[in-house]
């Protein structure tokens, strides 16, 4: 009887020891495997989507939204949430910045020990918000050259890239038509970090930059993408290849369009039966520069001037065959190809293209009738 009790006691003790060991292992695994926090939350004035991989998310500004005049509910709130979650580093390349939400998020990240570096267009560094960022101890390098430091991208923790056409300004987020794209990829982040280091660390801007993006071709869980920087990568070469390869449709949103090569390629595809439609900022008609608007209209293409009369149609997007999206800070101009610092993202995904087509249709429907 005593032996039986002793055996039962040993069994109970053994079970308890095994249970404690298992619990300890689970706790250890939980502590070691810490996923990056997800950026989520509703955006009343921004259309958002994730691809099937959820590694690409897209947001659009909406100047017609109810709270746009209050400077609330725009894509900047999503970007701020991402900045608030940064743990190691934030690199910012900004053409212009005056949004207090972005200013506060950057200063707060600096205060909690995140390593922050910024590059800006020199002509846009004298506003109050930029000075407050500098006063907080965050280093900002100006380009100091005739060409524009026209990038709008942020790299967080060398893992997340935020880019697109959206300037970090009140008008860029709440008055203009823009897109903001978030790519969760260490490979893409490496490309953008390499570009940032050229301009921040070595002060190489415009034509002085060294060609050689580490990994121009990337894949996000099977979604192919290509990354280009100008002027060193000569993005127009790839744009022309894709436009000339269009089989069914070319849709575009263009703030500035003075590239005859791209315009001519679109008109040639139209002659071959490809449906070409676009919306250009109404400033194109008033511009003293020779733009593509008149040639498009003379060729009978369905190209309209935008209806956002209080702001800019500031997007730079080409959608090919509703499965390829070209976007970024890159205007379709000679300066973007030769003197300005720009970035370009090409994504091969019908799902991403469908979302950009929805935005194209919205802007197209609001455009001025021919």
pLDDT: which is higher, 290 or 231? 231
Res. 7: pLDDT tops 80: no
Q: Which of 186, 180, 181, 179 is nearest to 221 (CA)?
A: 186
> Do the Cβ atoms of 223 and 348 come closer than 8 Å?
yes
d(CA 181, CA 56): 7
Res. 15: pLDDT tops 80: no
d(CA 275, CA 269): 8
- 150 catalytically annotated: no
Q: pLDDT tens digit string along 30-52? A: 222 222 233 333 333 344 444 44
- 321 catalytically annotated: yes
What pLDDT is stored for residue 53 in this prediction?
58
What pLDDT is stored for residue 2 in this prediction?
40
Decide the pairing of beta strands 47-50 and 249-254: unpaired
Please name the fold of domain 47-366: Endonuclease; Chain A (3.30.870)
Q: Which of 314, 316, 324, 327 is nearest to 352 (CA)?
A: 324
What pLDDT is stored for residue 290 in this prediction?
82
Among 234, 264, 321, 323, the active-site one is 321
What pLDDT is stored for residue 356 in this prediction?
98
> What global pTM score does this model have?
0.86
State the average pLDDT over residues 191-209: 97
State the average pLDDT over residues 285-297: 86
Cα-based distances in Å from 335 to 28, 147, 260, 331: 55, 8, 12, 8
- 289 catalytically annotated: no
Res. 174: pLDDT tops 50: yes
Question: In the chain, pLDDT over 90 holds for what percent of residues?
Answer: 81
- Domain locations in the chain? 47-366
């Amino acid at each position: 009887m005593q032996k039986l009790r002793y055996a039962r006691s040993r069994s109970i003790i053994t079970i308890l020891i095994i249970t404690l060991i298992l619990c300890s292992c689970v706790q250890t695994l939980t502590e070691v495997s810490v996923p990056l926090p997800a950026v989520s939350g509703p955006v009343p004035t921004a259309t958002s989507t994730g691809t099937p991989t959820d590694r690409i998310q897209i947001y659009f500004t909406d100047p017609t939204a109810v709270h746009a005049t209050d400077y609330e509910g725009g894509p900047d709130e999503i970007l701020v949430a991402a900045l608030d979650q940064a743990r190691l580093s934030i690199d910012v390349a900004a053409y212009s910045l005056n949004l207090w939400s972005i200013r506060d998020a950057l200063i707060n990240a600096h205060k909690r020990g995140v390593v922050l570096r910024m590059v800006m267009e020199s002509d846009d560094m004298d506003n109050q918000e930029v000075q407050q960022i500098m006063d907080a101890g965050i280093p900002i390098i100006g380009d100091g050259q005739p060409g524009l430091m026209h990038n709008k991208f942020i790299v967080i923790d060398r893992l997340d890239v935020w880019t697109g056409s959206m300037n970090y300004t009140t008008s860029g987020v709440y008055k203009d038509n823009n897109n903001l794209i978030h790519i969760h990829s260490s490979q893409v982040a490496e490309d953008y970090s390499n570009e940032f280091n050229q301009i921040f660390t070595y002060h190489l801007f415009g034509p002085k930059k060294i060609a050689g993006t580490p990994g121009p071709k990337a894949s996000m869980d099977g979604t192919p993408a290509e990354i280009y920087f100008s002027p060193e990568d000569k993005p127009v070469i790839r744009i022309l290849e894709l436009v000339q390869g269009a089989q069914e449709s070319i849709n575009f949103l263009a703030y500035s369009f003075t590239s005859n090569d791209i315009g001519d390629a679109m008109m040639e595809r139209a002659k071959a039966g490809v449906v070409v439609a676009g919306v250009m900022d109404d400033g194109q008609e008033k511009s003293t520069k020779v733009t593509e608007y008149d040639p498009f209209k003379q060729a009978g293409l369905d190209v309209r001037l935008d209806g956002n009369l209080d702001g800019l149609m500031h997007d730079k997007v080409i959608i090919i065959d509703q499965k390829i999206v070209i976007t970024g800070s890159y205007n379709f101009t000679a300066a973007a190809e030769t003197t300005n610092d720009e970035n370009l993202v090409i994504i091969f995904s019908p799902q991403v293209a469908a979302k950009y087509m929805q935005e194209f249709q919205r802007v197209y429907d609001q455009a001025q009738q021919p």
